[in-house]
């Protein structure tokens, strides 16, 4: 099957999220290549990016004990108001700063 109208860059999926602390409002967005563009077909390329994201989360689990399926809020991590250490305890101090650096 040919996709003549698919742009040269392929098709991307976007994930956007917002966060605020009543003083500052931040929105971030990630573009994930989903379909590659070729003359004859549009191969699915999402799996590679999903695998890399899961490797990153497993690394956060190994280094900081942050559960793989736990949503991470930067403001909660920075303020120490979280339950990221094993999903039960606070991640704070130097360890929280190192985890924050690993998120960027």
What digits encode the pLDDT tens for the residues 64-97?
999 999 888 877 888 888 898 988 898 888 888 8
The reported pLDDT for the residue numbered 97 is 85
Instruction: Show Cβ contacts of residue 99 under 8 Å, excluding neighbours closer than 6 positions.
Output: 60, 63, 64, 66, 77, 84, 91
Helix (H) or strand (E) holding 95: helix 93-102
Model pLDDT, residue 95: 87
Stated as kind and residue range, the H or E segment containing 15 is strand 11-20
Label residue 45 left, alpha or beta by phi (over 0 means left) and psi (-120 to 50 means alpha): alpha
Query: Can you tell me the distance from the alpha carbon of 66 to that of 78, in angstroms, rounded to the nearest whole number?
Result: 14
In 3D space, the residue among 70, 57, 91, 73 whose CA is nearest the CA of residue 18 turns out to be: 73
1 pLDDT more than 60: no
Q: Residue 3: name the closest of 32, 31, 30, 34 by CA.
A: 34
Residue 15, pLDDT above cutoff 80: yes
Residue extents of the structural domains in the chain: 1-44, 46-104
- pLDDT, tens only, 31-65: 887 777 655 566 677 788 889 889 999 999 999 99
């Amino acid at each position: 099957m040919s996709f003549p109208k698919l742009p040269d860059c392929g098709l991307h999926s976007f994930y956007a999220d917002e966060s605020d602390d009543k003083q500052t409002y931040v929105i971030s967005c990630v573009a994930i290549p989903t379909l590659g563009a070729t003359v004859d077909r549009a191969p699915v390329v999402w799996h590679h990016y999903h695998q890399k994201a899961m490797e990153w989360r497993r690394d956060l689990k190994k280094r900081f004990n942050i559960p793989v399926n736990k949503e991470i809020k930067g403001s909660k991590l920075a303020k120490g108001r979280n339950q990221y250490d094993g999903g039960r305890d606070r991640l704070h101090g130097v360890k929280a700063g190192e985890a924050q650096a690993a998120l960027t």
